[in-house]
Amino acid sequence: MGATSGADDVGRIGRSLRWLGHASTVIEDRGTVVMTDPVLTSRVAHLRRRRGPVPSGPAVLNPDVVLLSHLHADHTHLPSLRQLSEDVPVVVPAGAPDALPALRDVGDRLIEVQPGDTVSIGEVSIQAVPADHDGRRWRRGPRRIPALGYVITGDQRTYFAGDTDLYPALADWVTDIDLALLPVGGWGPTLGAGHMDPARAVRAAEIVSARRVVPIHFGTLWPIGLGRVRPERFFGPGGEFVRLATETGLRATELEPGDSLRW
């Protein structure tokens, strides 16, 4: 399996991953194209895309299914969702359309799930698993909407962690993973609760018995005007994760936003 420079489409043959930046990925297995947490613009509110091209191409705009991990605007980005075909199924945490009614405007095929639920799309099955993260859209209000990760099973098992910290039951929910996509950073100079740094992400990879790991959720979005503030928090987490993972015997690959991995 090797990394390749970004192209407009990952294609529909074999198994592949394309990292679009932040938590946005395009995963293909058994000819089924799965997109996660799409951010398809140069800006999200006060954040701008500092690295990588604005995503485009058929697999980006017309995947077979979209998975949303939680309601934060850098994961459930309504302008990006509106770019997608209206008939693409969108899997969301249970209760998300009630908490964010504008979700209903992006299409009529919302599928609400909670941990343990499984959805079959094309030739893959997708199981929702817990995440330790604040799943609310806004900072205030009851925490009724869970944050989720997903395990996609086709010819191989891919774990998209969304945004999460370690949690005690992780091994009970996620195990025997061929490719783990793990968050290792954030979008600003500080990293709050409900996130993993590179060291904790390495531990997560070990817990889920990942045979291959790619770091995500770093090195893409950054607050406007803070380009010179703690630049190591922007550029460094991916490389630090790969270094620590390699020291523990894990196979880890850092991608540039827009790059692909095929196997």
Q: What is residue 134's predicted lDDT score, i.e. its pLDDT?
A: 82
What was the pLDDT predicted at 3? 57
Residue ranges, the chain, pLDDT below 70: 1-14, 135-143, 263
Give the model's pLDDT for residue 139. Answer: 63
Q: What integer pLDDT is reported at residue 240 of this predicted model?
A: 97
pTM of the model as a whole: 0.92
pLDDT at 221: 94
DSSP 63-118: -SEEE----STTTS-HHHHTTS-TTS-EEEETTHHHH-GGGGGG-S-EEEE-TT-E
